[in-house]
Amino acid sequence: MYVIKMDADKNLVTTVHSTILRGENNADILAFLLPKMCGSVGIAACTVLLRYILPNGIGRSEELERYPVPYNDDYHKYRLGIASRFTETAGDIELWLTVIGFDDEVVLKTRTTVITISDSKDISNYLPGGSIDQLDRLALQVKQLERNKADSLSYDTDEYRLQLTANGELIGDSVELVVGG
């Protein structure tokens, strides 16, 4: 867990540091500790947005989720799962928070801080040429399995037939139900 606390001067200070590697997806979370009040505005009634610029220069904005229980008497805790869009490029990510009130007005902005995404090894650089084709075939098989995996049932009330579906498409054989005595 990576924890960042907003101080009285609207600086974002890292209080708990963890290593984040390029290509990770939901392996860690960013947690933010924000004061419950900003002047006369309760932060819990606002939308808290994380704004960040990736090492490749692309900017993004995501809404933070507030934990249901306050962190303590003075602070709320917010979180964001570190997804692959956050870790797609190794390097420094500059980030800051913007708090939006009920009437879409900006209640506050913080100063920026930096999180480093560490580089990681890429196995494709070390595989023999034919192995990449094999990995591609396995990835295709996984996608096919996902498409054909039963995820629901379809019931035909006119013919009293029950059938599995995958992504809304009928799959497999239907079963005729015996109705009545």
Encode pLDDT of 134-149 as tens digits. Answer: 777 787 778 777 767 7
Q: How confident is the model at residue 124 (pLDDT cuts 50, 70, 90)?
A: low
Q: Considering the chain, what is the average pLDDT of its residues?
A: 86
Cα angle at 178 between 177 and 180, to 5 degrees?
A: 135
The SS3 call for residue 179 is: coil
More confident residue, 86 or 62: 62
Residue extents of the structural domains in the chain? 2-118, 123-176
- Give pTM, 2 decimals: 0.67
pLDDT at position 85 = 81
Domain 2-118 adopts which CATH fold? Immunoglobulin-like (2.60.40)
Measured in whole angstroms, the distance separating CA 174 from the mean position of its chain's CA atoms is: 38
DSSP result, 99-164 = EE-TTS-EEEEPPPEEEEEEP---GGGTS-HHHHHHHHHHHHHHHHHHHHS--EEEEETTTTEEEE
Number of neighbours of residue 86 by Cβ within 10 angstroms: 24
The predicted-structure confidence for 65-105, as pLDDT tens digits, reads as follows 998 888 899 999 999 988 878 888 899 999 999 999 888 88
Task: Name the DSSP class of 168.
Answer: T
Neighbours of 178 (CB within 10 A): 6
Determine the length of the chain: 181
- Establish how many alpha carbons lie within 13 A of residue 28's alpha carbon, considering only the half-sphere containing its beta carbon: 17
pLDDT value, residue 112: 97
pLDDT classification of 130: cutoffs 50, 70, 90: low
